Structure 1
Amino acid sequence: MSAEPLSSESIDQLNEISGRGFDGVIGLKYVGGTTDRLEAEIEVNPSLLQPGGIVHGGVYCAIVESAASVAGVNWLAGKGHAVGVNNNTDFLRATRSGSLSAVAEPIHRGKSQQLWVVTITDVDGRTVARGQVRLQNIYGDKELGK
Structure 2
Amino acid sequence: MADDEVGVDDRAATQAALDEVFESMGALADRMGVEVLSASAERVVGRMPVVGNTQPYGLLHGGASCVLAETVGSVAAALHAGRGGRAVGIEINASHHLGVRDGSVTATATALRLGRSLATYEIQVVDDAGRLVCTARLSCMIQRSTTAE
Alpha-carbon distance, 1:127 to partner: 0.7
1:23-38, aligned counterparts within 5 Å? 23-38=29-44
Structure 2 counterpart of 1:111, one-letter code:
R
Indicate which of 104, 109, 115 corresponds to 1:104. 109
Quick one: distance in 1 between partners of 2:19 and 2:101?
Answer: 28
Q: Is the 8 A contact 1:11 1:31 kept in 2?
A: no
Indicate which of 61, 70, 75 corresponds to 1:65. 70
How many equivalent pairs are there? 137
**Corresponding residue number in structure 1 for 2:139:** 134
In our comparison, the structure showing a higher alpha carbon Rg is: 2
Structure 1 counterpart of 2:106, one-letter code:
S
What are structure 1's unaligned runs of at least 5 residues? none
1:84 aligns with 2:89: yes
Report runs of 4+ in structure 1 exceeding 3 Å deviation: 4-17
Alpha-carbon distance, 1:135 to partner: 0.7
**Corresponding residue number in structure 2 for 1:113:** 118
Give the CA RMSD over aligned residues: 2.5
Quick one: distance in 1 between partners of 2:78 and 2:55?
Answer: 31
Q: Is the 8 A contact 1:15 1:29 kept in 2?
A: no
Say if 1:22 and 1:141 are closer, same or farther in 2 by CA, change over 3 A: farther
* 1:26-79 deviation per Cα after TM superposition (whole angstroms, max 9, x unaligned): 01000113331111011111x311111101110011111111111100122214
Structure 2 counterpart of 1:127, one-letter code:
L
**Corresponding residue number in structure 2 for 1:22:** 28
TM-score (norm 2): 0.81
